[in-house]
Amino acid sequence: MGADIQAMATKNPHQPHDKFFKTAFSRLDVAASFLEQWIPTELSHALDWKTLQLLSGNFIDQHFKSFQSDLLYKVRFRNDLECILILLEHQRKEDPKIWHRMERYMVGARDAIQPLSKSMTRVIPMIISQSPRPWKTSPYLKDSFYYPKNLKSYMERTFSNEKLEIIELCTMSYEDIQSVPFGVLAVKILKAKITNELLGDQIWLDPHMLKITPLDLQFLLTYILASRHIDREQFSHRLHQLQSQPIHHKVMTVLEQYIEEGRQEGREEGQTQILQILLRKKFHSIPRWVQKHLKSATTEDLIRWSERVLYKDTLKEIFE
């Protein structure tokens, strides 16, 4: 299984940390159960977390559309139709100019939803920080502006006390992480990535591992194995240590299923490559419409088209 585990690890998507964060926190049960602890208590108790919605990324300022990690939520007040917005972003390192960007996001989000509201909608900006060190940047908006020293007291009296809620995983203990089972494990894994503890007991002996679905476990394992700090020998050793634990059978079952799916994908990829060679030999080039067919093809499609290449004279006849 060692080579197959290594192949699983190489399925490393672009920006894996941001995508892991976004996938986990796009689940409303994870977001609601985690964020309600970090919103100021009085406000959190006034919100109906069952109404939490994930809004489209189109609400974010198009000038910053390349920042794919942002999540925007809407949640209503209890017994009220009005709502607030929560803007959540994942940061892997400290950004001294974070307020410059968050202000643009907040204005874009507010402008997009404003026609639906009778009054200006409050936007709560939040950061989940995966930085290995606590931030030194002030979380207060007023500290992002320049003003002469002799006006300091005036600015503090008159300026907005808007604060960026920064959730720093590096200072949080594993025991303090609260959410639904999948959410607890996802946040623990984000924290463990900081200190290279992805194979530690705080994750693998967590009873929540037995409560999540096989599909969720596969998602978590894929992120863990994609880490450049983990090789197949380390992972195999961790599995060996788990042999007497209830989680061992579940992990092995998920890994075997994932590996079999990977083998099937590999067979289809090989068949696609063979068909592309045959097509280029006969027609010299492959048009875009044919490439689209190949991307969505099943194994049966690939076999049928490969056979047709041998006796059909046109691409249309092959792919009809």
Say how far apart CA 26 and CA 73 lie, in whole Å: 9
Same domain? For 197 and 69 the reply is yes
Length of the chain: 320
Same domain? For 253 and 222 the reply is no
Same domain? For 11 and 138 the reply is yes
Would you say residue 33 lies in a domain?
A: yes
Contact (Cβ atoms closer than 8 angstroms) between residue 268 and residue 302 = yes
Q: Where are the alpha helices (DSSP H) in the chain?
A: 2-9, 16-25, 28-35, 41-46, 98-113, 152-158, 181-194, 201-204, 214-225, 232-241, 247-283, 288-295, 299-309, 315-319
Chain segment 149-195, per-residue pLDDT in tens: 888 788 777 777 888 999 999 999 999 999 999 999 999 999 999 99
Same domain? For 27 and 136 the reply is yes
pTM of the full structure: 0.74
Same domain? For 225 and 275 the reply is no
What's CA 262's distance to the chain center, in Å? 22
Chain segment 83-122, per-residue pLDDT in tens: 899 999 999 999 999 998 888 888 877 777 765 556 778 8
Same domain? For 149 and 280 the reply is no
Q: Which of 200, 229, 258 is the last residue of a domain?
A: 229
Supply the range of the domain harboring residue 263.
Answer: 249-319
- Res 10 pLDDT > 60: no
Would you say residue 138 lies in a domain?
A: yes
Contact (Cβ atoms closer than 8 angstroms) between residue 129 and residue 170 = yes
What pLDDT was estimated at residue 95?
93
